[in-house]
């Protein structure tokens, strides 16, 4: 059985001639000295030269001076070794216009192994070259813009690997997997979908103890696969364009503005509250002698019977004028301004209050153990709640100053369950006597000078704030000594 491949059938020479004539590729045949002997119609279409115009002329009629001489030297060195050559030449058409030719020249050997002819085939690739350069220029321009951008930029593939980044990103990342860390934080915070995101803020705790805030924006982009397999069936790859901006300084500025605004609001509230307490205290203390005068007047009236008593009349006149003055004083007490109810972030509010009280804490050498839990927003009046917790924190600071314990510490923690949000403030002060745990909530109660008490006069107001929010306020003994104030506010 013959396993050899059967020989190809002979093809008439006319078929070869017609194939060359009808080929879309510019074909020319020269002698060993590169004089043109034949060119096909496609050659005329590319060069503008008719066969009769180039017959017998050297192929160099197409050459143009911008092609380096080294290219021609390399070409002839290879052809003289009877090896095919392929390369790019800048050629000139008959009308003088230039084009870029992708040229292949093959030596044709005779029976004796000598080069008798050269077969040249070339095509005009000027437009292809222009498009390639345009793409390269655009790529370089985009990369230059990205590299010089003041915002950190990274492009991530579907496996979240960084495939392109810029100088600012490398500075922020400092060799760490910054992009993966940010995506994990964004995914844990509010999730990620295929629609992109903008202005999402991420807080980072750095190794040196500093806190950094980054604003992240992302957009999904698609790239079509350039492989042969994807020519008819497009294959697409998705990339995430991630833009990152360090907003730590901006956050610090915003926080300072917010704390200063809170300081001003609380100072105004404290001024009004002090005035309310002073005037209310005066009214409270003046009521007692007026009650005594009214009792004395009733006694005189009973003793005098129906007879007119000048002393009783004078006393009645004095009591009437005093009562009018007392009512005028009562009317001058500033009313409590009504504040709108809205969602309040208690952790953020407490953080601002700690920043507000930082100078006092540092001056007293007091450390704060701050343990915020995950809290839902609480429906309430922000300024009233700030007044409440400021009073409790200031009482804790005063208690630490009054204490003899070597520990100078305030512990602040928040927690939540389905129905309540809880804030617990504990200090290392001397604590509060059990018999005073309810008395301190009475209006005008003060313990100034009592070394075993540190609550102060603000607790009646604090109790009013908690009650107005439907919550609970209780005082007790902290673990390890000191006072513990627990505030519970309902969750809507």
- 256 domain residue, yes or no: no
Sign of CA dihedral 74, 76, 79, 81: negative
Which CATH number goes with the domain that contains 201?
Answer: 3.30.450
Give the distance from CA 56 to its chain's centroid: 73
276-330 pLDDT, tens digit each: 667 766 776 777 777 777 777 777 777 766 556 677 777 777 777 777 777 777 7
Please report which confidence band the pLDDT of residue 434 belongs to, taking 50, 70 and 90 as the band edges: low
Q: Is 26 helix (H, G, I), strand (E, B) or coil?
A: strand
Answer yes or no: are the C-beta atoms of 237 and 158 closer than 8 Å: yes
Q: Are residues 274 and 177 in the same domain?
A: no
The reply to whether 116 and 161 lie within a common domain is no
Considering the domain boundaries, does residue 3 fall inside one?
no
Lowest mean pLDDT among 118-132, 207-221, 327-341, 432-446: 432-446
User: Does residue 355 fall inside a structural domain?
Assistant: yes
Alpha-carbon span 492 to 489, nearest angstrom: 10
**270 and 369 housed in the same domain:** no
Which residue(s) pair with 489 in the sheet? 421
Look at residues 62, 93, 128 and tell me which one is the last residue of a structural domain: 128
Nearest partner of 49 among 92, 94, 95, judged by Cα: 94
Of the pLDDT bands very low, low, confident and very high (cuts 50, 70, 90), residue 1 is very low
Going by pLDDT thresholds of 50, 70 and 90, the confidence category of residue 161 is very high
What end-to-end distance do the CA atoms of the chain give, in Å?
93
Let me know if residue 137 belongs to a domain.
no
Residue at 255 is within a domain: no
Q: What is the pLDDT of residues 205-250, one digit of tens each?
A: 888 888 899 999 999 988 888 788 878 888 888 899 999 999 999 9
- The domain that holds 116 is classified in CATH as 3.30.450.20
Domain tally for the chain?
4
DSSP SS3 for 237:
strand
Across 12-16, 119-123, 418-422, 441-445, the highest mean pLDDT is recorded for 119-123
Residues 312 and 348 in one domain: no
Q: For residue 307, which phi and psi values (nearest 5 degrees)? A: -75, 145
108 and 180 assigned to the same domain: no
Residue ending a domain, among 290, 309, 331, is 331
Residues 349 and 317 in one domain: no
Q: What is the CATH number of the domain that holds 367?
A: 3.30.565.10
In this structure, the answer to whether residues 362 and 473 fall within a common structural domain is yes
The answer to whether position 337 is within a domain reads no
Residue 323 is predicted with a pLDDT of: 78
- Assign 327 to helix, strand or coil: helix
Q: Which of 29-38, 169-178, 285-294, 347-356 has the highest mean pLDDT?
A: 29-38
The DSSP code sequence of 218-235 is EEEEEEE--SGGGTTS--
Predicted local distance difference test score (pLDDT) of residue 142: 85
* Domain identity same for 476 and 350: yes
What phi and psi values does residue 172 have, to the nearest 5 degrees?
-70, -40
How many percent of the chain have pLDDT more than 70?
88
Domain assignment present for residue 144? The answer is no
Residue 365 in tokens: 């050498």
Same domain as 479, residue 360: yes
The mean of the pLDDT values for the chain is 85
Tell how far CA 387 is from the center of its chain.
31
* pLDDT tens-digit map of 98-109: 999 999 999 999
Are 25 and 94 within one domain?
A: yes
Shared-domain flag, residues 162 and 220: yes
Same domain, 179 and 210: yes
Pick the more confident residue, 11 or 333: 11
Largest distance between two CA atoms of the chain = 165
**pLDDT(444) > 60:** no
Kindly give, in sequence order, each residue whose CB lies less than 8 Å from that of residue 252, ignoring residues fewer than 6 positions away.
Answer: none
Does residue 223 lie in a domain region? yes
169 is written with which tokens?
A: 């990103």
- In which domain, by residue range, is 192 found? 149-246
Range in 75-84, 244-253, 329-338 the model is least confident about:
329-338
Boundary residue ending a domain (291, 307, 331) = 331
């Amino acid at each position: 059985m013959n396993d050899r491949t059967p020989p190809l059938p002979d093809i008439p020479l006319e078929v070869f001639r017609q194939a060359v004539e009808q080929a879309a590729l510019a074909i020319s045949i020269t002698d060993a000295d590169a004089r043109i002997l034949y060119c096909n119609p496609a050659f005329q279409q590319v060069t503008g030269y008719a066969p009769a115009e180039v017959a017998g002329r050297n192929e160099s009629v197409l050459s143009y001076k911008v092609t380096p001489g080294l290219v021609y030297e390399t070409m002839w060195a290879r052809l003289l070794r009877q090896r095919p050559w392929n390369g790019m030449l800048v050629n000139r058409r008959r009308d003088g216009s230039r084009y870029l030719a992708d040229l292949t020249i093959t030596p044709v050997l005779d029976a004796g192994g000598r080069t008798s002819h050269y077969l040249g085939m070339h095509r005009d690739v000027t437009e292809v070259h222009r498009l390639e350069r345009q793409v390269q220029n655009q790529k370089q321009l985009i990369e230059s813009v990205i590299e010089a951008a003041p915002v950190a930029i990274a492009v991530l593939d579907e496996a979240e690997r960084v495939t392109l980044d810029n100088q600012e990103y490398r500075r922020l990342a400092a060799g760490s997997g910054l992009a993966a860390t940010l995506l994990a934080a964004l995914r844990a915070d509010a999730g990620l979908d295929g629609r992109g995101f903008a202005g999402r803020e991420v807080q980072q705790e750095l190794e040196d103890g500093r806190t950094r805030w980054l604003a992240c924006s992302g957009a999904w982009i698609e790239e079509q696969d350039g492989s042969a397999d994807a020519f008819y069936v497009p294959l697409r790859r998705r990339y995430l364009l991630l833009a990152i901006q360090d907003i730590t300084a901006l956050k610090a500025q915003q926080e300072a503005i917010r704390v200063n605004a809170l300081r001003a609001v609380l100072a105004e509230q404290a001024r009004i509250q002090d005035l309310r307490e002073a005037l209310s205290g005066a009214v409270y203390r003046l009521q007692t002698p007026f009650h005594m005068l009214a009792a004395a007047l009733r006694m005189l009236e009973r003793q005098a019977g129906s007879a007119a008593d000048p002393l009783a009349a004078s006393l009645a006149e004095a009591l009437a004028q005093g009562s009018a003055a007392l009512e005028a004083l009562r009317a001058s007490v500033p009313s409590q301004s009504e504040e709108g109810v809205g969602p309040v972030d208690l952790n953020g509010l407490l953080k601002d209050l700690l920043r507000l009280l930082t100078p006092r804490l540092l001056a007293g050498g007091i450390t704060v153990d701050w343990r915020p839990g995950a809290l839902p927003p609480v429906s309430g009046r922000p300024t009233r709640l700030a007044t409440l917790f400021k009073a409790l924190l200031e009482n804790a600071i005063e208690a630490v100053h009054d204490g003899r314990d070597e520990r100078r510490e305030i512990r602040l923690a928040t927690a939540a369950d389905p129905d309540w949000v809880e804030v617990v403030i504990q200090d290392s002060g001397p604590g509060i006597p059990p018999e005073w745990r309810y008395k301190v909530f009475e209006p005008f109660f003060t313990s100034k000078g009592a070394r075993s008490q540190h609550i102060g006069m603000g607790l009646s107001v604090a109790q009013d704030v908690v009650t107005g929010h439907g919550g609970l306020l209780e005082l007790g003994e902290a673990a390890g000594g000191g006072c513990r104030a627990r505030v519970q506010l309902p969750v809507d």
